[in-house]
Chain A
């Protein structure tokens, strides 16, 4: 997993909780890397799982909810880091349709070793898109958070239906995303 996911995760934990929480979960997780992450490095995904478990235990928040919140947070980070990708598309559904074909292609050029999830999109109507998430890491919750963050960026209200096609393992999940009305004013009400 790319280091940026770890560094952003720890930054979020520090902001939403505290630096002490960060130190605690690192220590409690007994990580081979000892929590020394750089955004340009690559680290085992298991470390992320351990960090999530520790945070869940300490904060009393379910892992899926943590992942959704983190996805939402991470998207904001992507918008700041890579504004060009977002400027190139006019709406949530347009952007999501381009993730697999265009954005991940560019990401792979930058990071040849990136292991990216697959997204298969189908535009059902102007308002609706189905997006099939498939990844052995089973991080469909993170994907959902990212989708919500994306809708917020484009100031659109979306309804997301999830259909887990992998018996609850989260490795293959079909999202049906429908744009409802015009944008919410602002704020973070979609997040955890």
Chain B
């Protein structure tokens, strides 16, 4: 993946850096990532697609629209491969997406979008969804194994409250784990079904934050797991990660609701855990307020 600084991207498009920032505000494209120093980093694929579209374009808007369509082709290719039960072609489609985007964006904009599309078209009781969900979860687990081990002293315990791999939230939870690991956290993923001997697991990992992800299991089961974690570690910042209609039925005392996109949720959770590490006495009793969607 090749990244361009603002000046490099602007030079490639024959515009000023201010114009590029004006396009980001008006059209939401090209959409840069941020470097650790908060500088804009543009993916070469997006800039090249926009440059080609501008050559034949009648307006910036139509060029942006064409460049977006070109990038959206990866999602369509992945949906087509999943509908055809072709795992090899699905792998290749995602590889193609990774040539134009960072892994974080490829996961959120292509993989999860394609899975949502398969579920929407065929329903979550279809064989297409069974294949797509299995492939998606497997791909995300493989990607997580390739993440460079954490260098930051932050550990997050993730309580997985999804039903199984066919749960529509399962891939989002895998994506959250992956993006947390890529942010530098050490993630201990546990199913909330397992409660006994919790202290043994947490003594080895000494978590800084806890997140309960998914909403397929009964509240009682989730509460038992959270109680076991609290008994083993003492009070920790707790966050809840839920999507869609499940967000409406979150009843928590002191736990923050994370945004529904995995990237944003990972960022907020890292802030929460960092706060816990830097203020061990205050944060364990009064966690900072989390921003949910639209807040």
A and B from one assembly?
Answer: no
B interface, CB within 8 angstroms of A: none
A interface, CB within 8 angstroms of B: none
